[in-house]
Amino acid sequence: MTARAQVIDLMKMIPDSEMPILLEVVKRFVPTNIDDIATPDDIAACEQAMREYRAGQTVSHDAIDWS
């Protein structure tokens, strides 16, 4: 069993009255700059964008009517 699965199983045994304390502890391990972390979807989107750019399938900034 993975550590994540063990933590989830242990959380199920904690009384609801103790959950606020546990929540505060867990929050300390969550990155505060979550936008700085590239997810697999982010990476796939960047790779797709680069493929489209290399294939000439992009629209130039000047070609867009921004008004």
pLDDT one digit per residue (tens) for the chain, 67 residues: 899 899 899 989 999 999 999 888 888 887 777 677 788 998 899 999 999 989 999 888 888 888 8
Task: Supply the pLDDT for residue 14.
Answer: 92
- Among residues 43, 64, 66, 47, the alpha carbon closest in space to that of 55 is found at 47
Residue 58: count of CB within 10 angstroms of its CB: 11
Question: What tokens does 48 get?
Answer: 């797709």
User: What pLDDT sits at residue 63?
Assistant: 87
**Quick one: tokens of 64?**
């867009």
> Are 22 and 11 in contact, with CB atoms under 8 Å apart?
yes
